[in-house]
Structure 1
Amino acid sequence: MSLDQKFEAAAQAVKGLTKRPTDEELLTLYALYKQAIEGDNNTPKPGLLDLKGRAKWNSWDAKRGTSKDAAKEEYITFAEGLMAKYK
């Protein structure tokens, strides 16, 4: 199975979790997914009143400089940990 196939399988498996991960875990998943798919964050920072948008932006921006393949590998490992914890 290729890295891309493992990544897609992990992304699908996370959607089937029976319990909801913590907000921090969800932000990490989001950041790794965005970094793996789009690369470095180059979007404008959301305004001060958009708390959810800022949290997501900051989380993704913290992964700046991580290659897409490294982000995919990290996502797979993190998702496997969540599946073991929340299934």
Structure 2
Amino acid sequence: MTDLEKQFEQAVADSKALTERPDNMTLLQLYALYKQATSGDVDGERPGFTDMVGRAKWDAWNALKGATADEAMQRYIALVDDLKA
């Protein structure tokens, strides 16, 4: 496990222990960065109009298409650090 992966795992743990719940847009960003870092580019069909939450998650993840896992991990770590401050 690389140093970046260790930092990422720590940031994931830290994100679950935040004192304040982030707003929905920040939560979507955390979700998308996590998925991009762990699964790569989004796959599958965009959820239908009636699945608004699924659609928002898919759109947020799709916006990161092409970002490397390392880039997504670094951005995730930086975002969690900002939320902890």
CA distance in 2: counterparts of 1:9 and 1:43, whole angstroms? 29
Q: TM-score, normalised by structure 1?
A: 0.93
* Matched residue, 2:8: 7
SS in 2 for 1:32: helix
* Matched residue, 1:46: 47
CA distance in 1: counterparts of 2:18 and 2:77, whole angstroms? 14
The percent identity for this pair of structures is 45
Query: CA offsets per residue over residues 40-62 of structure 1, 9 Å max, x none?
Result: 00121111000000000000000
CA distance in 1: counterparts of 2:68 and 2:33, whole angstroms? 10
Q: How many residues align?
A: 84
CA distance in 1: counterparts of 2:57 and 2:67, whole angstroms? 17
C-alpha displacement of 1:19: 1.1
Q: Which consecutive unaligned segments of at least 5 residues does structure 2 have?
A: none
CA distance in 2: counterparts of 1:43 and 1:13, whole angstroms? 30
Q: TM-score, normalised by structure 2?
A: 0.95
Q: Hey, which bits of structure 1, 4+ residues long, moved more than 4 A? A: none
**In structure 1, what residue type is equivalent to 2:51?**
D
Q: Which consecutive unaligned segments of at least 5 residues does structure 1 have?
A: none
C-alpha displacement of 1:28: 0.3
**In structure 1, what residue type is equivalent to 2:14?**
A
CA distance in 1: counterparts of 2:46 and 2:68, whole angstroms? 21
**In structure 1, what residue type is equivalent to 2:3?**
S
* Matched residue, 1:25: 26
C-alpha displacement of 1:24: 0.3
